Structure 1
Amino acid sequence: MHHPLATSVIFLGFLTKQLKSDTQILPIIITVCTQNGSLNGLTEANRRNQRAVDSQYLISHTFYGMKKYTLHRDAAPRKSLFDYEKELNQEQLEVVMAPDGPILVIAGAGSGKTRVVTYRVAHLLERGASPQSILLLTFTNKAAREMLHRVEHLIKMDTRYIWGGTFHHIGNLILRQQSRRVDFKPNFTILDNEDAKDIIELVTKEAKIDRKERRFPKGQVLKEIFSFSVNTLEGLEETLNAKFPYFMDIIDEIAMIQQGYAEKKRAANAMDFDDLLYFWHRLLAEDESLRQYYAAMFSHILVDEYQDTNRIQAEIVDFMGFINRNVMVVGDDAQSIYSFRGANFQNILEFPKRYPEARVYRLETNYRSTPEILDLANHSISHNTRQFAKNLRAVKKNGIVPVVTPLRDVIQQAEFVAQRILELRDEGIALNEIAVLYRAHYHCMELQMELTRRGIPFEIRSGLRFFEQAHIKDVVAFLRVMINPTDEISWKRLLKMFPRIGRKTADHMYDYIKTFENPVDLFISKKIGEKFKSIHKDNLETWSGLFKELEELQRYDAPADMISTILKHGYTDYLKYTYGNHENRLEDISQLINFSTEYDSLVAFLSELSLMSGIAGEEVVTGGEEAERVVLSTIHQAKGLEWKAVFVIWCAEGRFPNPKAIEGGETEEERRLFYVAATRAMDELYLCYPMLLFEKQIGHVILKPSRFIAELDSGHYEEWQVGEV
C-alpha cells in the first residue's frame, strides 16, 4: 500500500514527463500534488482555496493522451431553507435579491451590513453559484470567517471553497501559486513591519550613508514612504512631494535605498505586506492571460468596508471583476477616516463612474442608536458636500438627549468623566459597555490618572501589537529559519541572543553561515563553535539540542510543540535574564502556543502570523484586575465598535478637529471622524471639552467648543453646567 506522499511523488513525475514542455504549469502541479499537507504550507482553508484555483487552471489546459474525469460537487439547495422577507428589512432584502451586475451599497452606521453581505452570499449559492467562483474581500480575516460561518449555518451548505479573507490574505494565496512569475520561490517569507524596517536599516548601512554627517530618515520612516507609494500607486517623487516634502533634497539616496531594499528582499526570498498587493496587482496588470483567467474564474466579487480601500486595492478589484462585472462593494462614505494610511475616499464616490450600469442601494435603518443620537449625527454630517446623501432612521424608541459639557480645564474634564462613569455603573451599565473616545492618544493622559486614582479599571487601545512584541518575534524567528534557511533578519535576531554577541558579530556570523546550504546543521553539529570561539560551550549544547528537536518536529508540522521546545531549550532562562516581567511574557507565549494549534502546518502558521501583525491591533494596559474595564480609545481604533455610553473628550477647537488636517484641506474627513465617534453610542452620548488650557510657552489659553458642536442646533443636545461641592 502506497503512502499518500509517495503516490503524490509518482504522480508528480508522471505529470512532469507528460507536460515537460509546459514550464508555466509545473509549479502549480507541484501544489496540487502536495495537498496532504506534508509539503504545502497553507492552512486547511487556504489549501481548499488553492485546490479550487489549481483544479480550474489544470482543467483549462489540454492533457494529451489523458482521459478527463469530472468530479461533481453537491448541488446547491433548490429551495431556500429560510424566509428572506422575514429575516431582512426591505432595504436589506433589495440588496440581497438584486440581479447580477455591479452594485454599490451605502451602508449607514449600525444598519446591518454584515448581515446583508452574509445573506447575499447565501442567496448566490442558492441560485447555483459555484463556491469557488465567489471572492469575498474583507478588512480582517476574522470578519470573513464569521461571515462564511453564518452562511454555512443559514443554508447548510459547504462554504469551504469560497475565497474569503483580506486583500493581503488573498494576495498571499495567489502569489504562492504564481510566485515564479515574479521571480520568487513559493516558500517566500512574509516580513512583518519590524523585519522590513530592519532590512531597510541594513541596506542603509551597507550603502554607507553617514548619519553622523547629515540627518537621514530612519528605517521606519523609509518604510512608511515606500508603503504609501505602493498603496497609492504613486512614484517616489510624487509621494515625497505630497507627504514628505522635507526629504526632497535627498530623493536620490532614498531611491537608492528603495532599490536596495527590493534587491535584499528578493535575495532572501521574502516579501513585505505591500509586496503581496504590489505583485498581485502587477501580475494582473501585465499578464493578460492571467488577468483573463482570474476574471473568468470569479463570477461574483464582494468587498466589505470599501470606503477604506486604497488605489491599488480598488484596481485589483476592477481587474478581478472586469469580465463578469458582478462586483458588489459595501461601505459608508461618511465613515471614510483613513486617508493617512493611503485610503482613497474617491474609490467609493466614483464607483458609479467606473461602473455606469451600477445599481446604488442605501441602508438607512439603524439598529444601534437612539433617535436623539442619530439626529445629532445626521445633522453634523449633512455639512459635508462630497458624499452620498443619507438619513439614518432609528429602530429604537426615544431615549436620552446627547449632552454637551463644557468643563473648566482638563482636570475637571477627567473628574467629570470618571464620576459619570461610576454613576452609569450604579445605574446598571457595565464598565465594558462604556467607552471614552478622543482624536489623539495623548488626550487621555489626565483621564488615565483620574481613573487610576479612583480605582476604575480601564484598558487603553494603543501600544505594541501582540505579534510585534520582542519575545513573540524571537520565537517566530526560530520557526522561520526552519522553513527558510536564507531568512537573514531572523538569523541575525537569533544570533544576537547569544551572550556577548552584538550586531557586528552577528553580521559576521551570518556572513559565514549563509555560505552553507543548511545553516541549522552548523548548530546541530556544534561546528559553529569552531569558527566563533566566543560562543560558550553550554550555549552550544543548548542550541544543538534545540535545533535537533525542532528539525524532528518539523517533519510532523507541529508548530505548538516546536514553540514548547524553544521554551524548554533555554528561552525561558533567556526571558528571566532579559526582562523584568518575564512571567507575563511567558503567558503571551503560552497563548501563542494555544493559537498555533489551529494550524496543521508550520508555513501556514507563520504566514498567518505575518499577515495578522500587519493589521491594526493593540496591547491592553489595565488599571485594575476586574473583568470589566472602561475602554479608552482613539476614534480611529473605535470604528466598527459600539458601546451603551460614549464620552468624546477634547471636543475643542484646535484639538478636534486636528489643526494640521484643517490646514491640509481635510475638514470633511475630520467631520466624518466626529460622525464615527457619535455613532458608536447606543444609548448615551457625552461631548466634553475644557474651556481653559495652560501651555508652558504661552500660558493660559481659552478654548472654544469644536466647530462640530457649534454647527449643531441647540435642539440636538442639552448643555450641562458642571459645578463643584
Structure 2
Amino acid sequence: MSEPHSLQDRSIDEAVLSGLDDEQRQVATALRGPVCVLAGAGTGKTRAITHRVAYGVHTGVYQPQRVLAVTFTARAAAEMRTRLRDLGAGGVQARTFHAAALRQLQFFWPQAVGGTMPNLLDHKAGMIAESARRLRLSTDRAAIRDVAAEIEWAKVSMLTPETYPRAAATREPPAGFDTTTVARIFQSYEDVKTDRNVIDFEDVLLITVGILQEDARVAATVREQYRHFVVDEYQDVSPLQQRLLDLWLGDRQELCVVGDASQTIYSFTGATPRHLLRFTERYPEADVVRLVRDYRSTPQVVQLANGLLAARTAEAEREKKTSWATPLELVAQRQPGPAPTFTECSDDEAEASQVAARIRRLIDGENVAAGSIAILYRTNGQSEAYEQALTAVGIGYQLRGGERFFARREVRDAMLQLKAASRSVGDEQVSQLVPDILASLGYTEEAPRGSGAVREKWESLAALVSLAKDIELHRISVPGGRFTLADFVMELEERAAAQHAPAMQGVTLASLHSAKGLEWDAVFLVGLSEGLMPISFADTPDAVDEERRLLYVGITRARIHLALSWSTSRTPGGRAHRKPSRFLDGLRPRTERDNRKASATIPQRKIAGPAKCRECGDLLTTGAQRKTGRCSDCPPGYDEAVFESLRSWRLGEAKSTEVPAFVVFTDATLAAIAEARPQSLEQLAALSGVGPSKLEKYGEAVLRVLAEA
C-alpha cells in the first residue's frame, strides 16, 4: 500500500466512490483478486469495474501501467478507456483480447520467432474461396461466409484440421458440407496462408499462446508488465481466450471477471459461459458480488425480462436440465412506466407500417428523440420493410452495420477543422467552440427539414456537437479536471481508431446480436413469430435456449417504452399460418386468434429412436445425415439433375432476398427433397428441414422446380 493520502487525494478517492450503490461499492473496493461480479442487464457493471480500477489507482494499490482491462469489442474497450480517463486513471490499458495479443506479438516476434512478422489478413473470404478451388469444390459467397465462420469456431476452440471432425460431430456442418470436407478446406486454407505469408486474427491469439507457453522469458516479461487483470463480458470467452488469460496470469490470482450467463448469445463463435459459471470452483476463495439493481429499465420492462427467463427456469427444473444457468432476478430502480405492448399484424408490411406510425406518435406526441428509438430484429434481411415504412412517414434512420461513422466525408472534414482550430484557440469552453467551428461545414442549431443527404450530414455534425458537450460535462466534474479542444480532437482520433461512434439522431435499425451493449428509451422488437424467434435452424434445446437469451437481451435494451410484434403472414393476402413466438407464451395477452384455436389439438412431433442409414444400416450421427436418411459416404438416391435444379433455384432466391443460401435451405434439405420428390405441400411439409415458415415462403416454388425437372 502507498503512504497515507493527502486531503486532495482523499477527496479524489471519495469522488470515485460516490454515487455507487452498496454492491457497486463492494466491487470497487475489492481490489485484490480473485473477484467474480455477476451483473445483470442495466445494473451498472461497467461503472462498477471502471470505478474499481480508478479506486485502485488512486489508493496506490495499482500502478496504472500494470493493469490490463480486457473486453470483447473495440467499441467497448474505447468506452472503458474514456471512462477511466474521466476518473483520472488514463494510464490503464483497456483493449480487446485480439488487440492486446497483437501488441504483444508485434513486440516479441523478433526475439521469439525471428524475422519479419507476417501480414495480418483482414478478411478470410478470398483465401477460403481459393482453398475450395484447390479442392475442386463448388462454393458461392454464402457458403464461403459460413465455412469461414466454422473455421473461426474451430480455431478459437483450439481445434486443428485433424481434430475438427470428431469435435464437430454433433454440429450442423456449414453450407451442406460434411465435417470431413470442412476439415479438408480448413487444412487447405492454412496451406494458402502459409504460401502467402499471412496470419488471421485467430492466429494472433494462437501464436501468442504458443510463444508464452514455450518461451519462459517472454512469459516472465508479460507477467512483470501486467499485475492486475479485469475481464468484462466474461460469459463470452472462448477456450482460446481463456488459455491466453491463464498464461497472462501465471500462478497469480489478481483477476476480476464480470459477466451474466443470461446474456450468452455468441455460442456460435465459440463463446461459452462455462468459465464464468465455474469460476468459484477454480477459485473457491473468490469474492462474489451480484449486481441486480436495474437502473436502465422501468419495472414493467424488468418484469417482462424476468418472466421470460423464469419460465425457462421452471421448465429446466422439471427437466432436471443442468445446462440452463439460474438467471439473476433483476430489481427495477426506475419509476414505473407504460406497460409493454403486444401487437399481432396481418403481414410483414402491416407490421412495419404500424411500427412506423407508433414511432411517429412517440416523436411528435411524447417528445421522444428519434436517436433514442430502436427497431430490433432477428436477421438483417428484415430491415428493408422498416426502412421503407420510416421513409414513408418522414422519419430518419441509421442502419447499424452500414457506413461507418468516422468514414463519412463530413466527419473527416470536421475532424480536420477541429484539429486546425485546436492549435490557435485558448481555454474557451469546448461545448461552445465546437458548434462555431462546425458552422462552416453546415451545422446549425436547428435541424433542416425533411430527409436526404443534407439531413444525414447535419445529423453527423450534430452528433459531434453533442459528444463534445457530454465529454466536457464528465471531465470537468472530476476534481482538477479540465477539457480543451485538443483533448477533444485526441478523443475523436481514438474513437475513430476503435470505430466508437457517438450517438446519432435517427431511429436505429439493428439485429438483436448487434444491439448487445446498447440501450434506448423506446425499443420495438419485431418479427417475433416461430421460425424467426426462435430462428428456424435452432433445432436443438441448447440452440433454442440461446434464442431465448437473445430475446432477453432485446427486451433489456429498453429504458421506458417496449413494443413486441409479429405478423401472421409474410405477404398481404397470404395464408395466416404463422404463430407468435413460443417465448411469448404466458407473457402476452391472448388474442382472438388464440381463443379460436384454444380447443384445437396441436400435433406434437414424435420422438423417434436412433436413426439409421437406409443403405448400410449404420447409425446417423449428424443433422445432415438424418435429413437425407443416409451416411455421407453412401451414394445418394436422387437424380443429380434434380438436385442441381434445386440448388440453382436456391441461389437465385438467396440473391434476390440478400440472405445466405443456407437460410433458404441447406444442401442436406435439398438432397432430402430431391430424393423424396414430394408432389404436394403436405408431402413437402413432412420432410425434415421444411418448417411452416419455409413452406409458406418456398413451398410452391419448390414444387414447380420439381415438376419442371
Q: Whole-Å Cα distance in 2 between the matches of residues 201 and 412 of structure 1?
A: 41
Match of 1:116 in 2: 48
What's the RMSD between the two structures over aligned residues?
4.1
Q: Deviations over 1:388-440 (max 9, x none)?
A: 43221222111111111112222221221111111111121111211111111
Measure how far apart 1:171 and its partner are: 0.8
Task: Give the deviation of 1:660 after TM superposition.
Answer: 1.4
Q: Is the 8 A contact 1:403 1:718 kept in 2?
A: no
CA shift for structure 1 position 186: 5.0
**For 2:360, which of 396, 405, 422 is the aligned residue?**
422
TM-score (norm 1): 0.61
Contact 1:299 1:326 in 2 (8 A): yes
- Counterpart of 2:104 in structure 1 is 174
Give 1:688's aligned residue.
Answer: 565
Q: 1:142 deviation in Å?
A: 4.3
- The reply on whether 1:390 has 2:322 as its aligned counterpart is no
1:137 CA displacement = 0.7
- Counterpart Cα distance in 2 of 1:147 and 1:628: 23
Closer/same/farther in 2, CA of residues 718 and 428 from structure 1, 3 Å limit: farther
CA displacement at 1:202 relative to structure 2: 4.6
CA distance in 2, matches of 1:303, 1:414: 39
- In structure 2, distance between residues paired with 1:684 and 1:643: 9
C-alpha separation in 2, matches of 1:703 and 1:332: 33
Aligned AA (2:373) = I
1:97 aligned onto 2:22:
no
State the AA in 2 paired with 1:318: D
* Residue 226 of structure 1: how far off its partner (Å): 2.8
1:367-406 to structure 2, matched below 5 A, reads 367-382=295-310, 383-384=312-313, 385=316, 386-406=324-344
Q: 1:608 to 1:147 in 2, by over 3 A?
A: closer
Q: Contact (CA 8 Å) 1:229, 1:235: kept in 2 or not? A: yes
Contact between 2:129 and 2:144, CA under 8 Å: does it hold in 1? yes
Quickly say closer, same or farther: Cα 1:689–1:184, change in 2 above 3 A: farther
- Deviation (angstroms), 1:170: 0.7
Aligned position for 1:233: 158
Closer/same/farther in 2, CA of residues 357 and 646 from structure 1, 3 Å limit: same
Match of 1:636 in 2: 513
Specify the SS of the correspondent of 1:692: coil
The Cα of 1:279 is off from its aligned counterpart by: 0.9
Amino acid in the other structure paired with 1:346: R
2:191 to 260, 267, 282: 260
Q: Pick from 140, 147, 153 the counterpart of residue 80 of structure 2.
A: 147
1:432 maps to what in 2?
371
| 1:666 paired residue among 511, 529, 543 | 543
User: Which secondary structure state, in structure 1, belongs to the residue aligned with residue 18 of structure 2?
Assistant: helix
Q: CA deviation at 1:233?
A: 1.2
CA 1:85–1:180: 2 relative to 1, 3 Å: closer
The farther-off stretch of 414-423 and 349-358 is 349-358
Write the deviation string for residues 506-560 of structure 1: whole angstroms up to 9, x where unpaired. Answer: xxxxxxxxxxxxxxxxxxxxxxxxxxxxxxxxxxxxxxxxxxxxxxxxxxxxxxx
In structure 2, C-alpha distance between the alignment counterparts of 1:152 and 1:466, rounded to whole Å: 23
* Identical pairs, percent: 31
Amino acid at match of 1:295: R
Q: For the Cα contact (< 8 Å) 1:201–1:218, is it kept in 2?
A: no
Give deviations 1:567-614, integer Å, cap 9, x for gaps: xxxxxxxxxxxxxx9xx9xxx9xxxxxxxx99x9xxxx9x999x969x
1:420-461 per-residue CA deviation (whole Å, 9 max, x = no partner) reads: 111111121111211111111222332322222233222222
- Out of 409, 412, 430, the position equivalent to 2:350 is 412
Structure 2's unaligned 5+ residue stretches are 317-323, 409-452, 461-485, 595-709
Return closer, same or farther for 1:278/1:468 CA change in 2, 3 Å cut-off: farther
Alignment of 1:125 with 2:57, yes or no, is yes
Change (3 A) 1:252 1:682: closer
Secondary structure of 1:447's aligned partner: helix
> Which residue among 146, 170, 181 is the counterpart of 1:250?
181
Secondary structure class of the residue paired with 1:226: helix
TM-superposed CA distance for 1:252, in Å, is: 6.4
Distance 2:75 2:65 in 1: 19
SS in 1 for 2:518: coil
Deviation, 1:713, is: 6.9
User: For the structure 1 residues 173 and 80, does the alpha-carbon distance in structure 2 shift closer, same or farther, using more than 3 Å as the test?
Assistant: farther
What is the letter of the counterpart of residue 163 of structure 1? Q
1 CA distance for matches of 2:168 and 2:196?
23
Partner of 1:319: 247
- Name the structure 1 match of 2:441: none
TM-score w.r.t. the length of structure 2 is 0.63
Q: Is the 8 A contact 1:410 1:446 kept in 2?
A: yes
Seen in structure 2, the aligned counterparts of structure 1 residues 251 and 430 have a Cα distance that, compared at 3 Å, is closer
In structure 2, relative to structure 1, the CA distance for the partners of 1:440 and 1:332 (3 Å cut) is same
SS state of the match for residue 575, structure 2? strand
CA separation of 1:211/1:298 partners in 2, compared to 1, >3 Å: closer, same or farther?
Answer: closer
Deviations 1:201-232 (A, max 9, x none): 45555x4x4357x9999654543333222111
Residue 456 of structure 1 is aligned with which of 387, 392, 395? 395
Q: Which amino acid aligns with 1:244?
A: P
CA change 1:466–1:389 in 2 (3 A) is closer
Aligned partners of 1:108 and 1:367: how far apart in 2? 10
In structure 2, relative to structure 1, the CA distance for the partners of 1:713 and 1:454 (3 Å cut) is closer
Match of 2:553 among 676, 698, 701: 676
Q: How many residues align?
A: 501
Partner in structure 1 of residue 233 of structure 2:
305
Aligned to 2:481: none
Cα separation, partners in 2 of 1:713 and 1:608, compared to 1, 3 Å = closer
Deviations 1:633-691 (A, max 9, x none): 11111111111111111111222111211436312211111111111111111111112
The alignment status of 1:356 with 2:284, answered yes or no, reads yes
Distance 2:141 2:555 in 1: 41
Task: Say if 1:210 and 1:142 are closer, same or farther in 2 by CA, change over 3 A.
Answer: closer
Kept in 2, the 8 Å contact 1:646–1:680? The answer is: yes
CA contact (8 A) 2:293 2:331 kept: yes
Contact kept, 8 Å, 1:642 with 1:680, in 2: the verdict is yes
Separation in 1, partners of 2:261, 2:399: 28
Structure with larger RCO (C-alpha < 8 A, sep 6+): 1
Query: What is the alpha-carbon distance in structure 1 between the residues aligned to residue 361 and residue 593 of structure 2?
Result: 16
List gaps (5 residues or longer) in structure 1: 1-71, 470-580, 589-596, 621-626
CA gap of 1:720–1:373, structure 2 versus 1, over 3 A, is: farther
Corresponding position of 2:12:
81
- The one of 526, 548, 560 aligned to 1:649: 526
Following the alignment from structure 1 to structure 2, what is the Cα–Cα distance between the partners of residues 658 and 148? 36
- Contact 1:104–1:358 at 8 Å: present in 2 too? yes
Please point out which of 547, 559, 575 is paired with 1:700: 575
Note the C-alpha offset of 1:110: 1.2
| Residues 137 and 303, structure 1, Cα contact 8 Å, conserved in 2 | yes
Q: 1:713 to 1:218 in 2, by over 3 A?
A: closer
Task: Check whether the contact 1:101–1:326 (CA below 8 A) recurs between aligned residues.
Answer: yes
Match status 1:328 vs 2:231? no
The 8 Å contact of residues 437 and 633 in structure 1, kept in 2 or not, is answered as yes
Q: Give the Cα–Cα distance (whole angstroms) in 2 for the partners of residues 282 and 252 of structure 1.
A: 22
Counterparts of 2:82 and 2:180, CA distance in 1: 53
Q: Tell me, in whole angstroms, the C-alpha distance in 2 between the residues paired with 1:396 and 1:215.
A: 50
Q: Against the structure 1 CA distance between its residues 119 and 186, is the aligned structure 2 distance closer, same or farther, given a 3 Å change threshold?
A: farther
C-alpha distance in 2, partners of 1:165/1:448? 34
Matched, 1:709 2:709: no
Matches of 2:547 and 2:99, distance apart in 1? 30
Equivalent of residue 137 in structure 1, options 54, 57, 70 = 70
Aligned with 2:10: secondary structure? Answer: coil
